[in-house]
Amino acid sequence: MNMQAKPTLRELSYAEAIREAMDIALSQDERVILMGEDIGVYGGAFQVTGDLVEKYGTDRVMDTPISELGGAGIAVGAALTGLRPIFEFQFSDFAALAMEQIVNQAAKVRYMLGGAVSVPLVMRFPAGSGTGAAAQHSQSLEAWLGHVPGLKVVQPSTPEDAKGLLLAALEDPDPVMIFEHKILYKMKGPVPEGYYTTPIGKAAIRRTGKDVSIIATSIMAQKAMTAAETLAGEGIDAEVIDLRTVRPMDRETVLASVRKTGRLLCVYEGVKTLGVGAEISAMVAESDAFDFLDAPIIRLGGAESPIPYNPELEKAVVPQVPDILDAARGLLKGRI
């Protein structure tokens, strides 16, 4: 019997896994180029691109001027000519400066030209709070871009998915926005060697359970897992779903979990109002899974506030493990 060997797993950091994915892509496909501010000799604002410029040269790893709009426009143009650019923003917040190119060009060109062209563009956004970078460098804006038809939006929460989703994004003919939480860059975990992809649009069931469904994104999936272990010690069996992809969202996995547990807690770092949790809630409310609910849906998102600089206030405005615990306990005990 022919047995296929399983890929070797190594411990890599989230940042190392992303760098390895880009290294593999650059080595295997001459159409792949990296673009962004200070990604060359400096190695990127968070040192993710590292020394790739030394390996592939400045024709493949290109520093762009300090103009997000201009750099994004060049990346869109490069994709239209047949290249496969990976464009890095120093901070996800700076997407605001490039929304014309992202929303009005990258997302719409294929539609407006009747499918005659595609925009195989990957954009990487270091996102989220926890680094003391204050209001203009700490936001979670995935719901902004998830609102736009024509874009795919992913949020890897593990090193394995950070690599696999990036490689999957490079195979996609349409623009893919990857939001990488800055706190996760140093997190380590098992990552398969070589080339593999993680499917875009498919959530991961990180923990099975029967009492409450915790649907989480990005770093909140890690916090939800920590909370679930504590809840298990209290006799509460939580199921943790790592959404992984904001658009397209994995409807089937979410609804199946809610039908099983009858309780839904959505946990995400972006501002609660009009956030990812609102879409999850509406998806459940508009389906037959609504009839299985034994308690109201709870959205646990960011506060109605810019991210503060003060470290204690910074923690206070986004969900933390104790907040997840309190919300889950309340759902089970009928306090909510």
Q: Give the chain's domains with CATH numbers.
A: 9-192 (3.40.50.970), 204-333 (3.40.50.920)
Q: Report, as ranges of residue numbers, the positions in the chain whose pLDDT lies below 70.
A: 1-6, 334-336
Spatial CA neighbour of 294 closest among 259, 329, 319: 259
Q: Which of 20, 37, 88, 137 is catalytic?
A: 137
Task: Please name the residues in contact with 273: beta carbons below 8 A apart, sequence gap of 6 or more.
Answer: 301, 304
137 is catalytic: yes
In this prediction, residue 6 carries a pLDDT of 66
Alpha helices (H) along the chain: 14-28, 52-56, 68-80, 99, 109-112, 142-146, 159-171, 219-233, 251-261, 276-285, 311-316, 321-333
In this prediction, residue 309 carries a pLDDT of 96
Q: Which of 20, 68, 142, 314 is catalytic?
A: 68
In this prediction, residue 336 carries a pLDDT of 46
Distance CA 77, CA 219 (A): 33
Q: How far is CA 90 from the centre of its chain?
A: 16
Residue 291: other Cβ atoms inside 10 A: 8
Single pTM value for the model: 0.95
Distance CA 217, CA 323 (A): 15
